[in-house]
């Protein structure tokens, strides 16, 4: 069982979020939009609630209604795509598998990561998945200095803290490794708790999300999850909470735009 970090509750004051939606990099909201896959075109209907929340005003003002903000870590607050791709390509080369381009990586990366390794070309009936995962985690943490925070992380966390909302981390990173990283970046005082996995296999974070909501009495209707992958959206939907997606992480803007949730090009667009 994961052991959450010691709660770090602080006195918080109301913050001002004054951002025009047109500056957020969000396409105009319509009832339908089209995306292309190969030679096929599919139409996706946006929910009326999605249209209501971003058609008028701005999404930063929309954040003010939430009492809880739950953050993903990798690719959302931590700018680690370049490092992750570098390590994965090392592992692929060591097993005589062609390297991935950034575009291909962002299109096939997924949870559980076992599926992603298979899509990348590793034969996991021959290669031990747990050994591969352990090697990736070891190399990643040993090179953590090569993965900075995104530029607006501290500003974002501070503004939300000032609004009076609680903030949590929910990550597919192993729990103790997650807390070491948070401490390394001097962010341990920014979150009420950080919740990671019991191992480094990155199978998904739905169960950990349910534990987080239960342990800290988080009301789903008053919470939002901010992440960078399709899995983050799936977790938010399963937990019954809202979701905002940022496309500067492990999934491309095009891939995230196929979903029903608002997509921002960068984190700082929430707070300009």
Mean per-residue pLDDT of the chain = 79
190 with 235, same domain?
yes
pLDDT tier, 31 (very low <50, low <70, confident <90, very high otherwise): very low
Domain shared by 124 and 195, yes or no: no
Q: Please give the average per-residue pLDDT across 62-78, as a whole number.
A: 91
Length of the chain, in residues: 272
Residue 190 lies in a domain: yes
103 assigned to some structural domain = yes
Here the CATH number for the domain that contains residue 210 is 3.40.50.1000
Distance between CA atoms of 119 and 126, rounded to whole angstroms?
A: 15
- The reply to whether 159 and 230 lie within a common domain is yes
Q: pLDDT at residue 175 above 90?
A: no
* Domain span including residue 91: 81-146
User: Is the predicted pLDDT of residue 223 greater than 70, yes or no?
Assistant: yes
Q: Is 8 helix (H, G, I), strand (E, B) or coil?
A: coil
Whether 58 shows a pLDDT value over 90: the answer reads no
pLDDT of residue 197: 85
- Tell me what pLDDT residue 174 has: 87
Looking at the structure of the chain, the number of domains it has is 2
Q: In the listed set 146, 162, 189, which residue is the last one of a domain according to the structure?
A: 146
Confidence (pLDDT) at 150: 96
**Same domain (yes/no): 112, 208:** no
Average pLDDT, stretch 73-88? 97
Specify if 122 maps to a domain. yes
Does residue 2 sit within a domain?
no
Q: Do residues 158 and 260 share a domain? A: yes
Tens-digit pLDDT profile for residues 245-258: 999 999 999 999 99
In a domain, 218, yes or no: yes
pLDDT tens-digit series, residues 98-118: 999 999 999 999 988 899 999
Same domain (yes/no): 51, 103: no
| Residues 117, 75 share a domain | no
Q: What's the pLDDT score for residue 57? A: 31
Tell me, yes or no, whether 242 lies in a domain: yes
Q: Are residues 97 and 220 in the same domain?
A: no
Q: What is the pLDDT of residue 65?
A: 82
In whole angstroms, give the CA distance from residue 247 to residue 220. 24
pLDDT digits (tens, 9 = 90+) for 148-171: 999 989 989 998 988 899 999 999
Structure confidence at residue 203 (pLDDT): 58
CA 197, 271, 256, 50 torsion: positive or negative?
A: positive
Pick the closest to residue 117 from 126, 232, 231 (CA basis): 126
Residues 58 and 183 in one domain: yes
Structural domain ending residue among the three candidates 127, 146, 165: 146
pTM exceeding the 0.95 threshold for the entire prediction: no
What pLDDT, on a 0 to 100 scale, did the predictor assign at position 36?
33
Note the pLDDT of residue 18.
Answer: 28
Q: Are 191 and 108 part of one and the same domain?
A: no
14 falls within a domain: no
* Cα angle, residue 206 at apex, residues 247 and 183 outer, rounded to 5°: 70
- What are the residues facing 36 on neighbouring strands? 41
- Statement to judge: residues 87 and 102 lie in one domain: yes
Q: Which letter does DSSP use for residue 230 in this model?
A: H
The reply to whether 177 and 230 lie within a common domain is: yes
Q: Is residue 264 part of a domain?
A: yes
The residue that leads in pLDDT, 35 or 145, is: 145
């Amino acid at each position: 069982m994961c052991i959450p970090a010691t709660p770090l509750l602080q006195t918080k004051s109301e913050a001002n979020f004054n951002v025009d939606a047109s500056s957020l990099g969000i396409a105009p909201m319509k009832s339908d939009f089209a995306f292309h896959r190969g030679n096929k075109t599919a139409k996706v209907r946006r929910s009326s609630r999605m249209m209501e929340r971003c058609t008028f005003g701005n999404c930063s003002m929309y954040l003010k209604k939430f009492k809880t903000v739950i953050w993903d870590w990798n690719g959302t607050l931590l700018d680690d795509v370049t490092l992750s791709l570098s390590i994965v390509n090392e592992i692929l080369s060591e097993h005589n598998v062609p390297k991935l381009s950034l575009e291909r990586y962002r299109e096939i990366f997924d949870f559980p990561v076992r599926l992603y390794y298979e899509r990348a070309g590793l034969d996991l009936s021959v290669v031990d998945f747990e050994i591969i995962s352990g090697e990736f985690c070891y190399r990643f943490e040993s090179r953590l200095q090569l993965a900075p925070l995104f530029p607006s992380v501290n500003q974002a966390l501070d503004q939300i803290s000032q609004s009076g909302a609680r903030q949590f981390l929910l990550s597919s990173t192993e729990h103790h490794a997650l807390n070491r990283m948070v401490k390394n970046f001097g962010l341990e005082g920014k979150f009420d708790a950080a919740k990671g996995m019991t191992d480094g296999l990155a199978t998904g974070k739905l169960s950990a999300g349910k534990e987080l909501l239960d342990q800290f009495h988080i009301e789903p209707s008053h919470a939002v999850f901010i992440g960078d992958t399709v899995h983050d959206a799936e977790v938010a939907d399963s937990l019954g909470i809202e979701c905002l997606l940022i496309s500067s992480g492990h999934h491309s803007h095009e891939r995230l735009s196929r979903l029903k949730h608002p997509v921002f090009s960068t984190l700082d667009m929430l707070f300009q």
